Amino acid sequence: MSPMDEALRALPHGPEFRFLDRMLELEPGVRGVAEYTPGGDEPFLRGHFPGAPILPGVLLIEAAAQLAGVVAQADPAHAPMQGMKLAAVRHARIHGTARPGETVRVEATLTGRLSNVVSARVHARVGDLVVLECEVTLAGASSRS
């Protein structure tokens, strides 16, 4: 298994809540690029919207957070954070979305790390269209007992 595959499999989410299918690039602790292609049979697409399904914008943000987490947790200079979760979203702009069969390309660059907190700048594209721009902050469990 490649280091990129291992990094992606390290996501704590179950398969039904993973919004990254494949890693394309990974600089551990620095940046990463991944893709997600909604297939059309996901339960959330049946209701969003019947007859004309689109990927919810909040799931674009979740994909952004998942990729930022993969990049952070792959950093060999830092032990993986326990219980890392999305703590904040800033400056989010959702410019579009994806339909079933369209591939979302997500790119995350870590912008800061302090103890159990990591920040990243993320954007996502479908083809040439930027569909998401945001900053995410992830936080892990405190190292205090």
Tokens of 94: 């959702």
Distance in angstroms (rounded) separating the CA atoms of residues 73 and 83: 11
> Catalytic residue at 48?
yes
Q: Which of 48, 78, 91, 95 is catalytic?
A: 48
What are the tokens at 103? 């591939």
Contacts of 89 (CB under 8 A, 6+ apart): 61, 65, 134, 135, 136, 137
Strands 104-114 and 31-36: antiparallel
Active site positions, annotated: 48
